[in-house]
A = this chain, B = another copy of it.
C-alpha cells in the first residue's frame, strides 16, 4: 500500500505519516526500488491507534509511551491506566480553566446592555486597574 492509500485507510494525512516517521513515532517502512514507502495492514493499525490517541487529546510524548505499551505484549495494564488517569487530570484542568473564562465572560456579558451606548462593563472589567475585579 502506498502512502496515499495508507492515509485514506487510516485517516492520517500522508504529511503526518511522514512526520511521525521522522520523529520516530512509527517505524520507517520498506521502500520500493523507486523510493516509494510501502505499508502493510499492521502499519495501518498503528496509524489508526495513533489517530485515536490524538483524538482523545494525548500529546505526542504520551503517544510515544502508549504505542510502546501497545507493542509490549507483556505490559501491565496499570501503566496504561496511570497514563490515562494523568491525562484525564490534565483534561479536567484545561476544562476548569476554560470554564472559568466562560463563566467570567458570561457574567460580564449579562451585565452589558448591548445597545448603541458606549458604556460597557466588559471593557470596564478589562480596563480595571483598581480593585474592581
Contact = CB atoms under 8 A, between A and B. Distances in A.
Contacts of A66: 123, 126
A81 B49 contact: no
A22 interface: no
- Among A56, A74, A87: residue with most chain B CB under 10 A: A56
Interface residues on chain A, size class: 35 or more
A88 B114 contact: no
Contacts of A76: 115-118
Majority DSSP secondary structure for residues of A touching B = helix
Given A56-B101, A77-B113, A129-B45, A123 B91 contact: no
Nearest to A120: B77
- Among A44, A49, A72: residue with most chain B CB under 10 A: A49
Given A49-B126, A56-B104, A81-B114, 19 more contacts: A48-B127, A48-B129, A52-B126, A55-B101, A56-B105, A57-B98, A73-B118, A75-B118, A76-B115, A77-B113, A80-B120, A81-B109, A84-B112, A88-B106, A88-B109, A95-B95, A95-B98, A95-B99, A98-B98
